[in-house]
Amino acid sequence: MLDIQSNISLKSYNTFGIDAKARYWVEVESQDDLKTLFQLTEFLTIPKLILGGGSNILLTRDFDGLVVKNNIKGIEVVREDSQHVYVRAGAGENWHNFVLYCVAHHYAGIENLSLIPGTVGAAPMQNIGAYGVEIEQVFEQLEAVHLKTGEIHTFLHSDCRFGYRESIFKHEAKGEYIITSVTFQLNKTPTFHTSYGAIQETLTEMGIADDQLSIKAISDAVIRIRRSKLPDPAEIGNAGSFFKNPEIPKEQFDRLKALYPAMPGYPIGETAVKVPAGWLIEQAGWKGKRVGNTGVHTKQALVLVNHGGTTGEEVKALAAKIQASVADQFGIHLNPEVNFVG
């Protein structure tokens, strides 16, 4: 039987630690729980917020609706062929634990995505990515329940309209579905991605030679890098990378490079360049800066933090100031990676 509660604090359910409240709250453990929920007609028409790990949201005010905490678990191999293993995971599975499961079973493809906070269900919504790998490269399909009809839908790769930290679930289908499971096409023979970021340098520090390379070694290296650069939400509230790395025309990058010779950039084809948002924010003078109870992390300018007692509106206001500052100095607009809820 579903336990629907009222006036619940969401402070411990979002990694920013924002103390917003939910008008109603329910936790679902299975598709059967969702079927039961859809039989409760009084909740069919009110707004719903689907909550996984709460690691990529900013609660700007209390949520005047029903928060559905997705706890649907389970990992299973659904099929395999000579090259691939197809692994289905419940949307409520912890993402990092799922990565470690795949590494332990020698299923390759997501080792570069180690230690990303959140749940399996959020991975395709955000098209999460790190160190040269994105979810869309290993995504097979997902199942989701429509929040108004209760019908189960299957989304194939082409249905999801993946982009850089984008999917259909952040746009046309935003707030319409609750993802229940995701199936990944993983590799029996790994392709190692070590050229992005400090992976190769870290592997060398770990004493891993080229002939010793494995998906576990890469996972271990990524974990070491992320722990050295990014703050633990258990110690200081944050949602990881707050902004996307902007993609700008090559001509604009060349002009800026002449003014700022140290400006890093990563070519995207022949006409665009991706610029690290953290570098832009740091150059604009925001790294380590505190404004009231919020601020920018001292080690990673891409991370906004809660120093204690901040509100979502305060964080939102700081983000707007950073956007204006970067736009004024570089002519580049930063787009949030974090989802604003309110």
Q: Any idea how long the chain is? A: 342
Residue 83 parent element (H or E): none
Q: For residues 246, 252, 257 and 259, what is the CA-based torsion angle, rounded to 10 degrees? A: -110
Same domain assignment for residues 159 and 63 = no
Same domain assignment for residues 143 and 249 = no
Percent share of the chain, pLDDT over 90: 85
Same domain assignment for residues 66 and 82 = no
- Band of the pLDDT at 45, cuts 50, 70, 90? confident
- Band of the pLDDT at 1, cuts 50, 70, 90? confident
User: pLDDT digit string (tens) for 290-336?
Assistant: 999 999 999 999 999 999 999 999 999 999 999 999 999 999 999 99
CB 293 within 8 A of CB 306: yes
- Band of the pLDDT at 175, cuts 50, 70, 90? confident
Residue with tokens 């395709």: 124
Q: Which two tokens stand for residue 97?
A: 């634990």
- Band of the pLDDT at 20, cuts 50, 70, 90? very high
Q: What is the mean pLDDT of residues 171-183?
A: 93
d(CA 205, CA 100): 22
Q: Which residues are catalytic?
A: 165, 241, 337
- Judged against a pLDDT cut of 90, whether residue 75 lies above it is answered with yes
Classify residue 137 by its DSSP letter: G
Per-residue pLDDT, 210:
86
Same domain assignment for residues 192 and 247 = no
The mean predicted confidence, pLDDT, of the chain is 94
Cβ-based neighbour number of residue 6 at 10 Å: 9
Residue 311 parent element (H or E): none
Same domain assignment for residues 248 and 192 = no
Q: How far apart are the two ends of the chain, measured CA to CA in Å?
A: 29
CB 26 within 8 A of CB 68: yes
Q: Which two tokens stand for residue 122?
A: 């959020």
Cβ-based neighbour number of residue 131 at 10 Å: 20
Residue 247 parent element (H or E): strand 247-249
Last residue of a domain, one of 70, 91, 121: 70
> Measuring CA to CA, how many Å separate 325 from each of 241, 250, 283, 336?
18, 22, 10, 15
Same domain assignment for residues 293 and 306 = yes
By residue range, what is the domain housing residue 117? 75-228
Same domain assignment for residues 144 and 203 = yes
Same domain assignment for residues 22 and 61 = yes
Same domain assignment for residues 106 and 207 = yes
Q: Which two tokens stand for residue 325?
A: 């500052």
Per-residue pLDDT, 11:
96
User: Alpha carbon 31 to chain centroid distance?
Assistant: 24
CATH number at residue 11: 3.30.43.10
Burial class (CB in 10 A: 0-12, 13-18, 19+), 79: exposed
- Band of the pLDDT at 150, cuts 50, 70, 90? confident
Q: What is the mean pLDDT of residues 128-138?
A: 94
User: pLDDT digit string (tens) for 224-238?
Assistant: 999 998 899 989 999
